[in-house]
Chains A and B, each alone.
Chain A
């Protein structure tokens, strides 16, 4: 999955999965979540019974060559899946065969499904592609840009608020008078890879994806990198200072940080304002990928005075770093991929708000605890149309809103509970209650209860009306359905313009 995300972020790179039917749901996610307008550049070389019996033989090679001709991509990336890993076919051999007859470059993604997760796969694949193109002999000529410039590594498809973060980062760098050499992998063509070393340094805003590439570029081309995530006021300042340390001295940096923090960004004042006093000592639970979980924990503790009772991540491969970073910021650590463990911990700790993934949102829903979504895995709601960065100074405003709104909702809930909640709905429906001239059979009544609350009353009224008109005194299941049908037909004879 991570491999596919990287591949489809590049321009004119096509991924071919060696997978059974149905494993290509990645294109559903991309076209639905990102609301992508283009066809996802991905096909499947289907593994079916025949493949099990005789091996893929020519099939994979043919599929590769076919794509080569149909779409003429620069690079075709052959991707193994968990199914093909067990088959242990020699995919590299297929790649070698296909190279002979293809105009595109062809690579086999070096990922093992049983050892690494999506993010690791993405990190690796990005490194693999960059390395592949930088090793080509004609790429040796490096010409550093005249003015200070950076590459931004790790912006890619289906990333959590990546597009917005990227825009915010661009603005920040523009303000600091730093040029952007390249942003990748999103939108990069493989030809551009050769100009990567022209930048002065690399920025890796997300811990999960890009570090491998950054390390590689450091050893190969002596390019320094900054791997601080600029999320939160303090971290953003650190991020800027770190960049500055690699550049010739420039006094505007400190001035810029000061101005942004105290005058431009609303968050610093907001957290000092009286409203935020109420948040002091409130208990929060944080869970997500390492980048966002750590950043959120630090913001909650240092910038809003909220107690983080537990912080956790599902990136178990990066557990040590997480521990090190989060040391001293929270009471408990939770490093697990098991969402039932997360749920149980939340139940035990009873936080007043959760900041987590969509999973934690669902847990929160069941427990009646408000939840702000801060990290993938995510849903379509987390691909907002409006501008919602998490990085930089505008990001801080957004995060402050998110945190504050989560808690207010929680407070409201408690107040309602203290005063017994509003039962007003019940009262209104009672006063509107009808004269029960018709009776409901047990079965039809239980069917009625299954109808969603917001239309139930209307359907009840209409059915009773229908029964009265037809002189029926007992509403059975059959009558209920008949009423629905007759209602539907009377509606369809109505005004078609109403649609």
Chain B
């Protein structure tokens, strides 16, 4: 058996969402924010069409649509943006405006970072700039750019007496329910969370300094992790991500390690969760799965599914930060060893065309893929699951492991039921 993980890199001709899609969930998470996407019709069209209905439900975000006169610098960027932000301030009164830079602002080199402080001073309203563009990033990495930008807004410890107690701040945007659940899990280990990045309010961003230990809960947050370490001197706890009961246990273990706590009742907790998952696992045991790759959750999900008894042919992934994901990769290796299965190949920047050739060759039982390819694959008799659902579903912690398998098994269960 091959002992080393096999990394490959293809052409990068693959389908994924544009990273500006992160506004769709971040504006719901940060309740007092307003997102302003500075881009073109294409961006607006994408947000409206690809992300569908929820856009109109409660619009706490908007497009600043660039026109020809903006591009050719006939209009003054500063005045235009200031006018827009003023309008937003008076009609919505948010605590922060987050500008999302796009490909176009990148190419015409609009100096958003330079303009923001001036407008911020004029309006007395924080303006955060995140460059979530398709030139540099894929899908969920959009969140990474926003969180990294928010790190700069976290105050240094405001108390005069710097306490030397270790503090814990978690980073990654999850629903408040999941945030609470993870907090409870850690409380059971006598570890108390001092803050979340992002918090559900901009005004409640955590304090950060050298006494703060930080730990990520999503695999696509490498930029945020770097910023936390370099700019705020925080200590990063490198851990697998709390996806699946195995991941959650490892994640808690690593945090316990850092806080010198002996884990309490953790093995039993994991075991109990596996017992609950038994029926689902039976359904997918020895089935094979192929990740085409588009949201960077692939490594963690593959590791969990291998532990459930599945075979993974290929893990496609847009971008792999081997340092930030080091623990997760290690864990993937040990899981494969434990389950006696071959190490899957990991394909960075995959090429959808050749992937489809490989899918035809392997005939996997399940392909986890984007929406653009799902229906055509189904029409060719291959079971698929939309990968975006893993981004929007609650998948973290012991309590939600079920939901992951609920998603993974759905196409299999559906196809058992269909009688035509």
Q: Do A and B interact with each other, yes or no?
A: yes
Contact surface of A with B, Cβ cutoff 8 Å = 1, 19-25, 27-32, 35-40, 43-44, 46-49, 52, 63, 70, 81-83, 86-87, 113-115, 117-118, 359, 362-363, 366, 377, 379, 447, 450, 477-478, 481, 484-485, 488-489, 492-493, 496, 499
Question: A40 with B399: in contact, given A22-B19, A22-B134 (CB under 8 Å)?
Answer: no
Q: A23 to B279, alpha carbons, bound, how many Å?
A: 40
Question: A481 with B181: in contact, given A43-B13, A492-B279 (CB under 8 Å)?
Answer: yes
Flag if A82 contacts B138 (CB, 8 Å).
Answer: no
- 22 pairs, CB–CB < 8 Å, chain A vs chain B: A21-B18, A21-B137, A22-B17, A22-B18, A22-B138, A23-B42, A27-B15, A39-B376, A47-B103, A48-B135, A52-B107, A82-B40, A82-B104, A83-B135, A113-B41, A113-B42, A114-B67, A359-B56, A362-B57, A379-B52, A447-B176, A492-B280
Inside 8 A of B137's CB, which chain A residues have their CB? 21
Flag if A49 contacts B376 (CB, 8 Å).
Answer: no
Q: A81 to B374, alpha carbons, bound, how many Å?
A: 25
Q: A52 to B67, alpha carbons, bound, how many Å?
A: 21
Inside 8 A of A63's CB, which chain B residues have their CB? 13
Flag if A82 contacts B184 (CB, 8 Å).
Answer: no
Closest to B380 in A: A37
Question: A49 with B13: in contact, given A23-B42, A29-B49, A377-B48 (CB under 8 Å)?
Answer: no
Closest to A451 in B: B177
Q: Is B60 interfacial (CB-CB < 8 Å)?
A: no
Flag if B56 contacts A481 (CB, 8 Å).
Answer: no
Q: Which of A43, A48, A52, A83 has the most CB of B within 10 A?
A: A83
Flag if B135 contacts A47 (CB, 8 Å).
Answer: yes
Flag if A488 contacts B402 (CB, 8 Å).
Answer: yes
Bin the interface of chain B by size: 35 or more
Query: How far apart are B183's CB and chain A's nearest CB, in angstroms?
Result: 9
Query: How far apart are A146's CB and chain B's nearest CB, in angstroms?
Result: 40
Q: A477 to B180, alpha carbons, bound, how many Å?
A: 8
Question: A20 with B48: in contact, given A48-B136, A86-B71, A499-B413 (CB under 8 Å)?
Answer: no
Closest to A67 in B: B353
Q: A31-B373, A492-B280 are in contact. List 7 more A-B contacts (CB 8 A).
A: A22-B20, A28-B372, A29-B50, A48-B136, A377-B48, A379-B52, A447-B177
Q: Is B278 interfacial (CB-CB < 8 Å)?
A: yes
Inside 8 A of A24's CB, which chain B residues have their CB? 15, 372
Q: Which of B13, B108, B417 has the most CB of A within 10 A?
A: B13
Inside 8 A of B374's CB, which chain A residues have their CB? 31
Q: Is B155 interfacial (CB-CB < 8 Å)?
A: no
Inside 8 A of B138's CB, which chain A residues have their CB? 21-22
Q: A23 to B184, alpha carbons, bound, how many Å?
A: 40
Closest to A485 in B: B399
Flag if B276 contacts A489 (CB, 8 Å).
Answer: yes
Closest to A114 in B: B68
Q: A24 to B417, alpha carbons, bound, how many Å?
A: 34
Q: A138 to B276, alpha carbons, bound, how many Å?
A: 71
Flag if B276 contacts A492 (CB, 8 Å).
Answer: yes
Partner pick for B134 among A20, A37, A43, A499, CB 8 A cutoff: A20
Inside 8 A of B417's CB, which chain A residues have their CB? 499
Partner pick for B133 among A20, A28, A70, A366, CB 8 A cutoff: A20
Q: A52 to B104, alpha carbons, bound, how many Å?
A: 11
Closest to A31 in B: B375
Inside 8 A of A379's CB, which chain B residues have their CB? 52-53
Q: A186 to B173, alpha carbons, bound, how many Å?
A: 44
Interface residues in B272-292 by Cβ distance below 8 A to A read 275-280
Q: Is B16 interfacial (CB-CB < 8 Å)?
A: yes
Query: How far apart are B107's CB and chain A's nearest CB, in angstroms?
Result: 5
